Each structure stands twice: as C-alpha cells, then as structure tokens.
C-alpha cells in the first residue's frame, strides 16, 4: 500500500551554483503548448542561476525523499495557473 506524501520543509536559499529548475519540468509536463500560449508565459526559466534566490522543498513520498528546486518566476506561474492562487 502506498503511503501518503508528507511535506517536510520549504526554504528560500540563494543558489551556490547553476541548477535545473524543477518547476520548468512541472509546467512543461502538465500543460499543453496551447495553454502556455493562452497564458502568455513567454520564455520559461529552465535554469536557476548562481546567486539567485529560489524555492527549495523537501518531502517524503512512499518512504523516499523528494526534493524540488524552483525559480520564483516559475513558482508564481505554478501557483497562478495550476493551483488558482493569485498573488497581490
């Protein structure tokens, strides 16, 4: 039986090196090109640059650690278009 996902921690560190943005992958895998054009997203952030603040999340899913590093720009897109949360 699969265990429920447990969210452990969220932080906003500055990147010490360039890294791929997991939010980019999430947006591409969970939306169509037509949806992205309709949302007028333009170019999505694929890389989090050295020295840039980003969102780092950790959780446990089926007894395995899962991490996600997301640029703040892509996180805003995910919140708005996938979860319906609008920032002020």
- How much of the chain, in percent, has pLDDT values that exceed 90? 74
Task: Say which residue, 88 or 31, is predicted with more confidence.
Answer: 31
DSSP H/E element including 7: strand 6-11
**Cα(82)–Cα(48) distance, rounded to whole angstroms?**
21
Residue 1, pLDDT above cutoff 60: no
Residue 22, pLDDT above cutoff 90: yes
Task: Say which residue, 7 or 56, is predicted with more confidence.
Answer: 56
Tokens for 2, please give them: 């699969």
DSSP per-residue string spanning 37-75: HHTT--S---EEPTT-BEEEEEEEETTEEEEEEEEHHHH
**Average pLDDT of every residue of the chain:** 90
Give pLDDT tens digits for 41-61. Answer: 888 999 999 999 999 999 998
């Amino acid at each position: 039986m699969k265990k429920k996902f447990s969210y452990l921690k969220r932080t906003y560190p500055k990147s010490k090196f360039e890294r791929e943005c997991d939010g980019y992958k999430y947006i591409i895998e969970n939306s169509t090109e037509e949806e992205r054009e309709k949302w007028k997203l333009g170019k999505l952030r694929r890389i989090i640059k050295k020295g840039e603040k980003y969102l780092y999340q950790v959780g446990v899913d089926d007894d395995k650690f899962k991490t996600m590093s997301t640029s703040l720009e892509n996180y805003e897109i995910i919140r708005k278009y996938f979860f319906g949360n609008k920032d002020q």
